[in-house]
Structure 1
Amino acid sequence: MLKKMYYRKGKVNQGALFFNLFYLTLLFASCQTKVDDKKTEQPPNIIFIMSDDHAYQAISAYGHGLNNTPNIDRIANEGALFTKGYVNNSICAPSRAAMLTGKHSHMNGKVDNILPFDWSQDNFAKHLQTAGYETALIGKIHLDGIPQGFDYSNVLPGQGQYYSPEFIENGIKKTYQGYITQVTTDLTLDWLDKKRDEKKPFMVMYHQKAPHRTWMPEEKYFTLFDDTQFTPPDNFFDDYEGRPAAADQEMGIYKDMDLVYDLKMLDKEKEIKTPYRGMFQRQYDRMTDEQKKAWDAYYDPIIKDFKSKNLEGKDLALWKYQRYMQDYLRTIQSVDDGVGEVLDYLKENGLEENTIVVYTSDQGFYLGEHGWFDKRFMYEESFRTPILMKYPKEIKAGSKINNLIQNIDFAPTFLDYANVEIPKDIQGESFRKLVSGEASEWRDAIYYTYYEYPAEHKVKRHYGIRTDRYKLIHFYYDIDVWELYDLEQDPTEMKNLYDNPEYASVQENMHKQLQDLRKKYGDSDELTQQNLERFLDAKGIEK
């Protein structure tokens, strides 16, 4: 605080005046130094890690006890764990399009896996490029066309392959020997270490294929979980009472999971007959002779044992569940290894303090809940996605974020951290101040859409809204069914409360909030019908 200036007989106290002038000079110099530092301070680097179909239940930081992911957990331990992260559309390509553009599917045009994505539209990487960032996209993106907004891209065509994977490096197709997860990690580290301009801040999207179907593990993890007996979720044998859309799907572990394509029962005698045997054979044939030898040494005894048991009914369902969980979680272990390698690189090269690291998935996944694998539904396990984030300069270690965050929020958040103006047409919101603790106000509801029907897995078209406690879903097209859930009383969504008189006021309020959100985000029944017609035309289905 400045000293008071005292007046004596009409004269100024010269000592006090000198002190204050000196103090003001120092204060001005200090403030000017801080302003200059702000001007010259390097914007934060960004490493955006995304896996494919990684259920939050399968990250040990979330506390479900299925597996151990120490490296992914490091991000939460050194930063923040988001307990209510969600997607806008639980299927690969639309989720990634929303993440890039910060817009819902009906606005960016990528409503399903069938219709094309328009790379000429804005995305956050383009804005970072303009702001002087060096940008890279490595691994899976599942959006056709040449990626725009990236100085370097090396991406998987389509879904990619687990063994001897093909990549497209800046438009040129190449095949790499090895296992997909390690190859993607090596390419990312190579770009960080040798290919980027070190004078620029960087943003790299490091995107893994795993743990996407068909869950082919790396050799070093073949036996991981052999001694683990996984307990199925309580609703594994769900009867779907009061939920006709949930009943009419093709993603059941018992009835739809393929013995060869999904569970690796590729017997040499070809006695196990499935429609997808040839598809998995092609994946198997990508292995080298040495890899096949190791694979056969592990899987052949399992195949022999399975054939000897002649399992049926409940016993077969539970056997399939165990096999599924083992291979699914084994692929995640390799993903966790890669995360560790990247985090170690940052630390060893003095990049840790000024680098934002985010780990997420393009959606959640069912690990036996409702008897299912896959995603698509607005029910929690596929609607919700893991989000873990660290940035030592602004995020307190061990933070927990319990607000409703959605994948459309990544684009504005990254632009905010880079001090780049957020375009007005972006529909997501920056959660920078929320995660730093500077702000507490946030949205109280999120909007969801799913369009890809009739198609694989037969999940009905639907849209809906989720608040902190309630969820309202509308299934439509060849069905007209509403569902309402009280997530506080029924977190596993087993009891549809729609038209329950005890929830009449809740139902009315949820409908109003849904209408308000659709208006806010520019969606409508007319636009929904247009997207349906586009899809039917692309599939050659008569309207």
Structure 2
Amino acid sequence: MVLSDEHAAAATGAYGHRDVRTPHLDRLAGQGWLFENAYCTSPMCVPSRLSLLSGRYVHEIGAWDNGIVPGESFRSWGHHLRAAGYESVLAGRTHFNGPNRLLGFDRRLSDDLDFWVDHDGRPPSRTPGWRRGSNSHVTEAGTGEHVHTRHDVATTDRALDYLRERAAGPDDAPFLLYVGYMHPHFPLVAPPEFAAWYDPARVALPPTWRDPPQQQHPVIARLRYGFHNDEPLPEEQARLATACYWALVSHLDFQVGRLLAAVDGSSLRENTVVVYTSDHGEMAGHHGIWQKQCFYEPAVRVPLLLRLPEHQDGRRRPARVRGDVSLVDLLPTLREVAGLPVDPELPGRSLCGGPDLTPRPAFAEYHAQGMVDGGFMLKRGRYKYCAYAGHRPQLFDLMIDPWERADLAGDPVHTGLLAELSEQLERIVSPEDADQRAKADQQRRRAG
């Protein structure tokens, strides 16, 4: 299981990008299933990761923000697969908060960087006046050496040692190896050899990169203010930042290639499932936004690649799966792979059906800085519905409006569809209730 940080699906060759070089991910995609419409459950690191590891939505486990420290009741992939005799092993980036560095896994090969580990559990400020100190998440872009790059290379090294031991040893006990990378998370400091692949002067910026906040939904305008994205970047800066982001994606791809070579060049190739995904995406200037924290496609749509042993021996054919899927589907998938029965308490479903999966919507939510009131998304086929506690909703038809520029929520023609999607969202969660619960918990933690 390979999990990167902040990799938007569209920034991948296999997902149609004409400039970003990802040959190893592209090869993996061509050998198994590529899920064209995979979504994270929250466009924020810790909430998304705790959700995918537990197989539960953010509001179910109270993982509202990046300050959450999981309690003793938290059950991860490691807890679940232990029942099937699996050894579960962590390497690299997990973004767990608190002293428990395993959360149900059996051992670690390496940990997060020190400055990501220690967190006091305090929640972020969600006041209207909150504002990030700077927009360094985009302006600190360029080439050079960085601790994130060293972390990712070392993570691959440790994972390769483990895979070689497994391939060489007589132990047939099953294992789950989670490999976590920092790239392409900001700061956008790219290794020179990969940055050389991308000339900023040739970078094509999205058509929405200059969208003025005054013409956007008030929740989006507030988000842009909070993250210092309310003033458009100089064009040269936007091009440089984009080129560096692409270079970080390519460096990540290179690390994935090293892992695939170890698996495919050994006996592990015959019986090892390989999954690649990311915790959320990166706006990369779309709608004038950098980072994530919203429900536009670059923030919530993630790459998801699944290669089963049956793809290797011809029992299943590679395919592109078009239906909406969610990162909460990963745990049910792992349970099926491990031979465990369906857990009816999990909201997700196994992805092992691939192209035969029954269509169902994807859900996401956000309760952290930049958004004063809770936000919720339901993505169903061509339509995306965004609800905000105390604010008017948004509605987009992605088939005719892939850039999400035409908000249809105010069009009387779509009144019935809005009501239908709102009712479907309510069957998953009450936005008002979840918003109140999140704020109450954050207030309690702030007072403590």
Normalising TM by the smaller chain, what interval? 0.7 to 0.9
Structure 2: distance between partners of 1:126 and 1:465: 29
Whether contact under 8 Å (1:119, 1:147) holds in the other structure is no
SS in 2 for 1:425: coil
500-509 or 234-243: bigger deviation: 234-243
1:142-541 to structure 2, matched below 5 A, reads 142-144=95-97, 145-153=100-108, 154-156=110-112, 157=114, 159=116, 179-194=150-165, 198-226=171-199, 229-240=202-213, 241=215, 243-250=217-224, 256=229, 317-394=234-311, 396-433=316-353, 435=354, 437=355, 439-443=356-360, 445-452=361-368, 455=369, 457-458=370-371, 461-476=374-389, 479-518=390-429, 523=430, 525-539=432-446
Aligned to 1:173: none
Whether contact under 8 Å (1:159, 1:209) holds in the other structure is no
Structure 2: distance between partners of 1:123 and 1:333: 30
SS in 2 for 1:359: strand
From the superposition, tell whether residues 199 and 245 of structure 1 become closer, same or farther in structure 2 (CA, over 3 Å). same
Cα deviation per residue 1:439-468 (whole Å; 9 max; x = unaligned)?
Answer: 44232x22221100xx2x457531132211
Structure 1: distance between partners of 2:237 and 2:225: 13
How far off its partner does 1:214 sit? Answer: 0.6
From the superposition, tell whether residues 227 and 107 of structure 1 become closer, same or farther in structure 2 (CA, over 3 Å). closer
Cα deviation per residue 1:204-246 (whole Å; 9 max; x = unaligned)?
Answer: 0111011111122234334331365111111111135251112
Is the counterpart of residue 109 in structure 1 residue 109 in structure 2?
Answer: no
Structure 2 letter corresponding to 1:385: V
How far off its partner does 1:524 sit? Answer: 5.7
* Gap regions ≥5 residues in structure 2: 118-143
Aligned to 1:310: none
Structure 1 letter corresponding to 2:323: N
389-398 or 331-340: bigger deviation: 389-398
Give the RMSD, CA atoms, in angstroms.
2.6
Radius of gyration: which is bigger?
1
Cα deviation per residue 1:332-387 (whole Å; 9 max; x = unaligned)?
Answer: 22211111111111121121121111111101111221122111101211111111
SS in 1 for 2:364: strand
Cα deviation per residue 1:286-318 (whole Å; 9 max; x = unaligned)?
Answer: xxxxxxxxxxxxxxxxxxxxxxxxxxx87x521
From the superposition, tell whether residues 422 and 158 of structure 1 become closer, same or farther in structure 2 (CA, over 3 Å). farther
Aligned to 2:121: none
From the superposition, tell whether residues 252 and 490 of structure 1 become closer, same or farther in structure 2 (CA, over 3 Å). farther
Structure 1: distance between partners of 2:434 and 2:422: 19
Structure 2: distance between partners of 1:51 and 1:115: 20
- Which of 71, 84, 88 pairs up with 1:135? 88
SS in 2 for 1:393: helix
Structure 2: distance between partners of 1:320 and 1:119: 45
Aligned to 1:303: none
Structure 2: distance between partners of 1:529 and 1:215: 35
Whether contact under 8 Å (2:34, 2:304) holds in the other structure is yes
Structure 1: distance between partners of 2:307 and 2:271: 10
Structure 2: distance between partners of 1:357 and 1:228: 36
Structure 1: distance between partners of 2:433 and 2:373: 18
Aligned to 2:123: none
Structure 2: distance between partners of 1:378 and 1:122: 27
Number of residues paired by the alignment? 412
Structure 2: distance between partners of 1:238 and 1:123: 41
How far off its partner does 1:88 sit? Answer: 1.0
SS in 2 for 1:137: strand
SS in 1 for 2:277: strand
Between the two proteins, what is the percent identity of the paired residues? 26
Whether contact under 8 Å (2:212, 2:288) holds in the other structure is no
SS in 2 for 1:351: helix
67-76 or 325-334: bigger deviation: 325-334
* Gap regions ≥5 residues in structure 1: 1-47, 167-177, 258-312
Structure 1: distance between partners of 2:286 and 2:200: 22
From the superposition, tell whether residues 387 and 115 of structure 1 become closer, same or farther in structure 2 (CA, over 3 Å). same
Whether contact under 8 Å (1:446, 1:467) holds in the other structure is yes
Structure 2 letter corresponding to 1:81: L
